[in-house]
Structure 1
Amino acid sequence: MKEFDFIRRYLYRAQTDADVLLGIGDDAAVVRPRAGYDLCFSSDMLLKNRHFFENVAPADLAYKVLAVNISDMAAMGAAPRWALLSAGLPQLQESWLAEFCDSLFALARRFGVTLIGGDTTKGDLAFNVTIVGELPQGRALRRDAAQIGDDVWVSGRLGLAAAALHHHWQTFALPDSVFDLCERVRLRPEPRVALGQALLPFARAAQDISDGLAQDLGHILQASGVDAEIFAEEVPTLPQLRDNLDKTALYGCVLAGGDDYELVFTAPQSCRAAVLEAGRASGTPVTRIGRITEGCGRLNISDAAGRPVVLASLGFDHFE
């Protein structure tokens, strides 16, 4: 199979988005933004043996390649609309490509995303997605909007993906049933798009948790010029992890592990009922884990006894 046979057979799909004036098959795509909306752009690269294992199933790989980008749109409160996929592929193996593309387009359809272009080249497994979303003008959830007195919230449960990775790396061993739960979350994170949009009327700052709660919340604190206090035992995780890991390992996964793709966000205390309702309406558990305090970018973490929690690392760093 040649490159353009692959594009025509697997990537070109009939367009159903009326705002896509020209999609795959030309030198560039043409879309028409809707009046009254801002556009959000984001891009993420995933590399073999850095972001995924070489033996990952193509359906799981395709899901995650797109899901982590959709998660960026969720963190802004945006609706994902269009994506461009660039891929380095060692060979064009038809059964692998069919499984990959079927999974990719299934997730795209679920979230209303249209693939409008990209690039392919021969090389080691590598993928880059550029995604474009839209939201009402001036309504984006930004990192620099947290205010003193805000509550700090997270969605879902944290630490599961990191625990699965540590099991793979043999840092510690999880019971098979616990590993299976964690591995499912690692391979197929759930982008919190509905929650992000439900939070638009009242939430202030938001970020998706890709590199670890401590590090990603730290980005909000630095951008907003505030401190935060969070309570380690309030951060939601899988109960079986609390039962099977010592405190050091547990805090490392839950507070700094990353690969969660949940949302951390701030909102005024007066909006607690509204946050809970946004979680209920979007089918997403939300948990209040701390508060924004006066300062200039420091995160303070306390355990159940009020003692400071010191982490060996705040989260994932590509060059560390």
Structure 2
Amino acid sequence: MTGRRPGEEGLIARFFRPLATSPGAALLLDDVATVPHVEGRELVVTTDAIVAGVHFFPDDPADAIARKALRVNLSDLAAKGARPAGYLVTLALPRDWTVDWLEGFVEGLAADQEEFGVSLLGGDTVRTPGPLWISVTALGYAPEGHVPRRNGAAPGQRLYVTGTIGDAALGLLLRQDESLALTWDLRRADKEWLLDRYLLPEPRLSLAGVVSAYATASMDISDGLVGDAGKLASASRVGALIDASRTPLSRAASRAVAADREALAVALTGGDDYELLLAIDPDDADAFESDAAAAGVPVTDIGALVEGGGVSVEANGRPLDLGAGSFAHF
């Protein structure tokens, strides 16, 4: 539905107030929100921004942009074993924004609020002469004393990932060059899978309780498996050994890798997976895998934390050279 663009107060009332279902949001009539204390829980806070032309394509559907903005933050909560308690959104709109676009944007937020059981607490709307950007701050609760940081890993512990790795990075390349679908011998379903995985990450919130129970260190994979493994290892003052032959690939990614030797490096180093990377004590590995399966989240042992530093990647016992080894936002 088209219509005249409202001012800021009308914009908040029309588009965002229906999303503010939490009592602490006070119907967005105040400058602050409240988050109640929960006994035995720690409040976990994270924030991420996404910018048109950097983190998403300007012509992406408005609902998908909104969902990605929220989900990348929910992924951070999941990595810390936290359940979402609410979120704030700051939206910087360019001069040419439309009512139709904003309606689609809030529809995306509404869909994910229902899916993940979270509601809007507040935020801000501003104008920008530059590209569209969105910043989300998400809050969640985790069991007190059981928030796994990056620096809790130790030599001998196993390195696990959730889901499949590299789909988003391959999907980005495919979005930029559709001819790669032929190069990689992709079926239509494979192509759609990779494109969807780039457009819409899957936060592993159903694993939050398992993460808090077993992970000694964890983070989500936003800048590539190898690069983020290096960050976790560096924070813990250990090294990491990744077995590429055990790293889980989707059917689509496997077809790409089989057809193009360069695709494996993209899958292992490219960004935007938003899967979880977890250090697990070997004595807990069986229980962790069992509880993860019960939560409906696939997990794979891809290597180990070792003495020393840095990240080594091998396949079938041979070292792999992956170049820079990490996606960078700058």
TM-score over 0.5 (shorter chain): yes
Provide the residue aligned with 1:125 in structure 2. Answer: 132
Q: What is the identity percentage for the equivalent residue pairs of Structure 1 and Structure 2? A: 34
Distance in 1 between the 2:273 and 2:50 partners?
A: 15
Match of 1:63 among 67, 74, 97: 67
Distance in 1 between the 2:30 and 2:81 partners?
A: 31
Provide the residue aligned with 1:47 in structure 2. Answer: 51
Match of 1:116 among 121, 124, 134: 121
Distance in 1 between the 2:293 and 2:208 partners?
A: 13
Letter in 2 for 1:292: L
2:103 equivalent to 1:98: yes
Aligned partners of 2:73 and 2:138 also within 8 Å: yes
Provide the residue aligned with 2:288 in structure 1. Answer: 275
CA drift of 1:292 comes to 1.0
Q: Deviations over 1:187-220 (max 9, x none)?
A: 1111001113222222211110011001111111
SS of 2:223's partner is coil
Letter in 1 for 2:158: D
Compute the TM-score of the two structures, normalised by the length of structure 1: 0.94
Aligned partners of 1:195 and 1:284 also within 8 Å: yes
Q: Deviations over 1:214-252 (max 9, x none)?
A: 111111101111111110011001233233335642222
2:166 equivalent to 1:165: no
CA drift of 1:255 comes to 1.1
Match of 1:136 among 133, 143, 147: 143
2:207 equivalent to 1:195: yes
Aligned pairs, number: 316
SS of 1:205's partner is strand
Let me know the Cα RMSD of the aligned residues: 1.7
2:193 equivalent to 1:181: yes
Distance in 2 between the 1:229 and 1:244 partners?
A: 24
CA drift of 1:172 comes to 6.3
CA drift of 1:269 comes to 0.9
Aligned partners of 1:160 and 1:260 also within 8 Å: yes
Q: Please identify, of 63-72 and 184-193, the stretch whose mean Cα deviation from structure 2 is larger.
A: 184-193
Alignment map for 1:1-320 (pairs within 5 Å): 1-13=6-18, 16-18=21-23, 20=24, 22=26, 24-90=28-94, 91-123=96-128, 124-170=131-177, 173-174=180-181, 175=186, 176-245=188-257, 248-295=261-308, 297-304=309-316, 306-319=317-330
Q: Please identify, of 108-117 and 246-255, the stretch whose mean Cα deviation from structure 2 is larger.
A: 246-255
- Normalized per residue, the structure richer in helix is 2
Distance in 2 between the 1:55 and 1:108 partners?
A: 23
Distance in 2 between the 1:57 and 1:241 partners?
A: 24
SS of 1:30's partner is coil
Aligned partners of 2:20 and 2:121 also within 8 Å: no
Q: Deviations over 1:160-206 (max 9, x none)?
A: 11111111222960234322111111111110011132222222111
Structure 1: any 5+ residue segments left out of the alignment? none
Q: Deviations over 1:81-102 (max 9, x none)?
A: 1111001112442221111101
SS of 2:31's partner is coil
Distance in 2 between the 1:208 and 1:60 partners?
A: 20
Aligned partners of 2:48 and 2:135 also within 8 Å: yes
CA drift of 1:8 comes to 0.3
SS of 2:42's partner is strand
Q: Deviations over 1:291-317 (max 9, x none)?
A: 11111x31111112x111111222221
Distance in 1 between the 2:227 and 2:62 partners?
A: 30
Distance in 2 between the 1:233 and 1:14 partners?
A: 44
Provide the residue aligned with 2:3 in structure 1. Answer: none
Letter in 1 for 2:137: T
Distance in 2 between the 1:171 and 1:88 partners?
A: 31
CA drift of 1:22 comes to 3.4
Distance in 2 between the 1:24 and 1:92 partners?
A: 22
Letter in 2 for 1:216: D
Q: Please identify, of 22-31 and 69-78, the stretch whose mean Cα deviation from structure 2 is larger.
A: 22-31
Q: Deviations over 1:71-127 (max 9, x none)?
A: 000011111111110011124422211111011122023222221111111223100
Aligned partners of 1:252 and 1:311 also within 8 Å: yes
Aligned partners of 1:21 and 1:32 also within 8 Å: no
